[in-house]
Amino acid sequence: MTAPLFDLRDVGYHYGSQAALRDLSITVHAGERIVLLGANGSGKSTLLRVLDALYYPDAGSVRFCGRELTEELLLDDEFCFDFRRRVGLVFQNPDVQLFNPTVYEEIAFGPLQLRWPKEKIEESVARAMEFMQVEPLRSRPPYGLSGGEKKRVAIASVLVMDPEVLLLDEPTSALDPRSQSRIIDLIAAWKNSERTVITATHQLDIVEEIADRAHVLHEGRIVAGGAPREVLADLELLDRCNLVHRHRHSHDGVEHSHPHQHTHGSHEHKH
Amino acid sequence: MHIPDGYLSPATCAVMYAGAAPFWYVALRQLRRRLSTRLVPLISVFSAFSFVVMMFNLPLPGGTTGHAVGVGLATTVLGPWASILAISVALAIQAVFFGDGGITALGANCFNMAIVGSLVAWGVLRLASAGAAPESRRRVFAAALAGYVAINASALCAAVEFGVQPALFHDAAGVPLYAPYRLGIAIPAMMLGHLTIAGLAEAVISGGVVAFLQRGRSSILPGNIPALAAASSSSRVQPRLAAVLSLLLFCTPLGVLAVGSAWGEWSAREFGDPAARQRIAQSSGNQAPPDVLPKGMQHLASVWSAPFPDYAPRFIRSQKLGYMLSGMFGAGIILGGSLLAQSLLRIGRRQERPR
Amino acid sequence: MSHPGFVEHSIDGLSRALEHALFSEEMARRRGLLQAVDARAKLAGLLVLIIAAAIAHRLPVLGVLWMIGALLAVLSSIRPRDLALRLWLPVFAFAAIITLPAVFITPGRELFVVPWLHLAATDSGVRTALLLLARAEVTATFAVLLVLCTPWTRLLRALRWFRVPREAVVILGMTYRYIFLVLETAREMFLSRRSRMAGRMAGADGRRLAAASAGVLLQHTMELSHDVHLAMLARGFRGDVFLLDEPSMRISDGLFAAVLLAGAVTTWWMGR
C-alpha cells in the first residue's frame, strides 16, 4: 500500500465561533478520483481550502506526502512553489478566480508567479488555451464572458501549471447543460490517468461518472464513504444530509412521504 | 469636488503631486510590509467599492440629494493609510477612465480627498470614539462626524488651491490665467455646498453603514481584520502628526497672501523701495534698515530665480512661488523623513526581537 | 406619477458607467492611428499635449491644439460626433457653471449689461471664461483619446516604463476589473428593490435604504476580496507581483511621440 498523498486526522476548523469542520479524517491516494458529497454549508469548500493549504486547521493535522502543512512550511520558498504547482484549486465562483484584466494574463498568472522562464510560460499558456478551447477569448476581459466561458478560463488558469492534484469546488454550478456536460466529460477523461481529482458537489447524478470513491459530508463531518453506487443507494442517509428531496403524495386517504432522487429513466414508487 | 484640468496652474498641479507623493509612498511601504499578500486584493476591491459608492445618489434632509466620496467609511473600515491608497485609486480611475476630474489635477484631487480626507477622518474618529464600545451608538456618531469634517477639510483645501490662483498667476494686465475667483469668493462658494449638502451625504454614508454593520454584528467592523488592526493601531502617532503637518501644508499658500511680510522675511527688493523701508523700520522698533543690501541676502535672493533661464515664464521666477514651493516641499520632506525614520526604527526593533 | 427617487438615479448612473466602458472597449478595438501606436509612446505624446494645453494662455494656441485633437480622433476612427456628444458637451455643461460668474466679476472694460440682474460682462471676463472653457475641453480631449484608443491593461503596463511601482499597476488593473462586478451587483440590488417598491422612497427611509444598500455591498465586497486573496495565493502569489513583458517599441512609435512632442513645444513657443 503506497503512502497516501493527503492524510487528514481529526481536523477541525472554525469561522469565528462557528465550526465548519469537526474531527474530520480522510486519506487520499495518488491517482484516485474522489467526490465529496454534501449540501451547502456542509463544509465541502472549507475542506478543499484546507487541502490546498489556504486555511490551516485549528485542530488535528493535514499531511501532504508525509509533511504536515503549516503556515510556516508554506513560507519556505522551495516548498511553496512546489506545492502550488502540484496542487490546483478551481473555485466555485469564477469571478473570484478571474482577477486579471484579460484572459491571456489570467492564464499566465500562475506560471508568472512561479517564475517560469518566458518561453515556457508562452508555451504552457498556448497549450492550456487550446485544451480548454478559449483561444479566441485571449484578449477579452473577464466580465464580458458567459458563465461557461468563465469556468473554462478558470480551469485553464489552473491546468496551465499541469498539477498532479485537482481540487474542484462545484464545477458544474450555475452552468448551462451543455457547458456542464463538457466539464463532466473532462473530469471523466481523467480516469486512470495519474491525476488525482477531488470534486466537491451536491449533484448526485454526476457522481458515478466522475469518481471512484464518494464521501458524504454533513455539518463538518464525514458520515459515509465508499463506492459511489453504494453511497447513492442509501437514500435515508442522503435524505438526512439534505442531498435529496422528499416526495409527498396521498392516495386512498393516506399520505406517503419518502426521499426521492431523479434518475434518467422513468421512476415509479413502490409502496 | 473633483477639480478638472485647466483651473489650477501647472505649477500648482506639480506642487500638489509633489505633496501627495510622500504620502502615497509611505502608505504603500507600510501596507506592503504589514499586509503583504493581502494588500493587493484588499485595496483593489475596496477601491472598486468606493468608486461605485461615489455614484450613489443619496437622499438628504431637506429634499436634496448628494454624492459622497466615502472617505469616512474607508477610514473607518480600513484605517487611514489603506484608505489613502483606496480612494486615490478610485479617483485615478474616475479621472482617467471616466473623465471625472482632471489628470494634471489628479495630484490635487488625491491630496484633498484621499490624503487630507483620510487623515482628518482618522483624527476625528479616534477622538470622537475614544473609549466607546464597538457596538455603541457613539461609534456611529463618530463615523458620521469623521466623514463630515473630513469632506469639509478636503473642500477647504480645494477652495484654497482655487483661491490663490488669481493672485499668483495672472497676465500683465492682471487678468487671471487660471481659476479666476480669489480666496474671498472661492472659500465661501465651496464651503457652502460642502457644509450643507456634500458633508451631510458623507455623514449619511459613513454613519449609516456603520449602524447597519452594527445591527448585523458584522465582522467587517474595524478591528476585525487582524493585519489591518495592527497596521492602524501602530500608526497611532503618525496620523496626528501627519494631520498637523497637512494643515500646515495648505496654510502655506495663505501665508503668501498675508498683507505685508512677517518680520525678517523681507525680499531683496523691499530694501530698495522707500515705502517698504518705512514699514520695515516701523516693525523693527523704528530702527532704519541698512542702506546697502547685505551681501548674503543679495546672493540668496537670486538663488531661486537663477536656475531658470530668462525666457522662463515670469511666475516661475516669482519669489512668492519659491516661498510657497519651499514651504510645501520642506513640510513634505520633514513628514516623509520622520515617517521613514519611524518605519526604519521599527524594522530595527523587530529584527532585534527573537523570532 | 411620482418622480424618480435616488434608486432610479443610482441605477441610471450605474448603467451609464457600464455603457461607457463598453463603448471605450469598442473604440480600442477599431483600426486607426492611435490604436496602432505603442502605449508608452501614446502616453508620453498625449501627456505632453495635455500639459501644453494646461499652460496655454492664448485662445489661438488652444484652437490649434483642439484641431490636433480632432484630427487625431478622425484618424483613429472616432467620429467627431461621438466625441462631441460624450465629451465636449458634458465638459461644456460642467465648466460653464463654474466659469459663468467669471464673465461678470472680472474687472475690465464693460461689454454689455444683463438687463434684470444689472450684471456687467467685461471683455477680460469673457476672455477668461473662454480660456478656461477651451482649456478644459482640450485637455479632456487628449485624455479621452489616450484612454479610448488603448486597452486599459496596455495603458497600465506603460506606466511601468515611467517607474510607477508594480503594486500600483496591479492594483489599478484589478480595481478596474472589479469595478464592473461591483457595479453589476449594485445595479441588480437596486433593480430588485425597485421592483418591490410601490412609490418613491424619500427622507429617512430613503437614507436607511441607501445606507443598507451600501452596507450589503460592502459586505459582498469584503468577502470578494477575501476570496480573491485565496485564489491568488492558490496560484503561487507571495506578495511580489510579476507582470508580462511588453513587446519592445518600434521606431514608428518613437517617431509618433517625437512628432507630438514637437507639436506641443511649437504651440507653447507660439503662445509665449
What pLDDT, on the 0 to 100 scale, is given for residue B257? 44
Tell me, yes or no, whether B1 lies in a domain: no
- Mean pLDDT (whole number) for C77-92: 84
Strand ranges in chain B using DSSP code E only, listed in sequence order: 58-59, 65-66
Domain carrying residue A241: 234-271
Per residue in C186-218, pLDDT (tens digit) is 888 888 877 776 666 667 777 888 888 888 999
Q: Which of A13, A49, A54, A96 to mutate to test the interface with C (most CBs of C within 10 A)?
A: A96
On whether any CB of chain B is under 8 Å from the CB of C126, the answer is: no
Tell me, yes or no, whether B57 lies in a domain: yes
Closest by Cβ to B36, choosing from C98, C174, C239: C239
Cβ-Cβ contacts under 8 Å, C245 against chain A: 118
Q: ipTM strictly over 0.95?
A: no
Cβ-Cβ contacts under 8 Å, C202 against chain B: 59, 63
Task: Give the three cell numbers for residue A160.
Answer: 496551465
Per residue in B190-214, pLDDT (tens digit) is 888 888 888 888 998 899 998 888 8
Cβ-Cβ contacts under 8 Å, C224 against chain A: 95-96
Nearest to C131 by CA among C47, C53, C216: C53
Least confident of B275-284, B321-330, C13-22, C44-53: B321-330
Residue A212 belongs to domain with CATH number: 3.40.50.300
Per residue in B291-303, pLDDT (tens digit) is 665 555 555 555 5
On whether any CB of chain B is under 8 Å from the CB of A15, the answer is: no
Q: How far is A114 from chain B (nearest CA, A)?
A: 15
Tell me, yes or no, whether B4 lies in a domain: no
Could you tell me where the DSSP H helices lie in A8-117?
Answer: 44-51, 71-75, 77-86, 94-97, 103-113
Over 50: is that where the pLDDT of B52 sits? yes
Tell me, yes or no, whether B138 lies in a domain: yes
Percent of chain B with pLDDT over 90: 24
Task: Give the three cell numbers for residue B319.
Answer: 519669489
Nearest to B189 by CA among C128, C118, C101: C101
Cβ-Cβ contacts under 8 Å, A108 against chain C: 244
Closest by Cβ to A110, choosing from C176, C236, C238: C236
Subunit contact B41:A99, Cβ cutoff 8 A: yes
What pLDDT, on the 0 to 100 scale, is given for residue A199? 94
- Mean pLDDT (whole number) for B128-152: 88
What pLDDT, on the 0 to 100 scale, is given for residue B122? 93
Q: Which chains, if any, share at least 3 CB pairs under 8 A with chain A? A: B, C
Q: Which of A86, A93, A109, A151 to mutate to test the interface with C (most CBs of C within 10 A)?
A: A109
Tell me, yes or no, whether B201 and B151 share the same domain: yes
What pLDDT, on the 0 to 100 scale, is given for residue C188? 85
Per residue in C182-191, pLDDT (tens digit) is 988 888 888 8
Nearest to A223 by CA among A90, A38, A99, A65: A38
Tell me, yes or no, whether B280 lies in a domain: yes
Tell me, yes or no, whether A135 and A156 share the same domain: yes
Tell me, yes or no, whether B197 and B295 share the same domain: no
Tell me, yes or no, whether B154 and B245 share the same domain: yes
Closest by Cβ to A81, choosing from C25, C174, C236: C236
C-alpha–C-alpha distance, residues B167 and B218, integer Å: 51
What pLDDT, on the 0 to 100 scale, is given for residue B231? 47
Domain carrying residue B340: 10-257+317-352
Phi, psi of A10 (to 5 degrees): 50, 45
Tell me, yes or no, whether B168 and B138 share the same domain: yes
C-alpha–C-alpha distance, residues B55 and C9, integer Å: 9
**Minimal Cα distance from B7: which residue of C?**
C132
pLDDT per position in chain A (271 positions), as tens?
Answer: 578 899 999 999 998 788 899 999 999 999 899 999 988 888 999 999 999 999 999 999 999 999 999 989 998 989 999 999 999 999 999 999 999 888 999 999 999 999 899 999 999 999 999 999 999 999 888 878 998 999 999 999 999 999 999 999 999 887 888 888 888 988 888 887 889 999 999 888 888 888 999 999 998 898 888 898 888 888 888 888 888 876 666 677 676 666 665 554 455 555 5
Least confident of C152-166, C191-205, C253-267: C191-205
Q: How far is B13 from chain C (nearest CA, A)?
A: 10
Residue B128 belongs to domain with CATH number: 1.10.1760.20
Number of domains in chain A: 2
Cα A205 to chain center, whole Å? 16
Tell me, yes or no, whether B74 and B137 share the same domain: yes
- Mean pLDDT (whole number) for C16-25: 79
What pLDDT, on the 0 to 100 scale, is given for residue B340? 55
Tell me, yes or no, whether B312 lies in a domain: no
Q: How far is A50 from chain C (nearest CA, A)?
A: 11
Of the CA atoms within 13 Å of residue B20, those in its CB half-sphere come to 28
Tell me, yes or no, whether A213 and A241 share the same domain: no
On whether any CB of chain B is under 8 Å from the CB of A16, the answer is: yes
Per residue in B259-296, pLDDT (tens digit) is 334 444 555 566 666 666 766 666 565 666 666 655 55
> Across all residues in chain C, what is the average pLDDT?
83
Tell me, yes or no, whether A1 lies in a domain: no
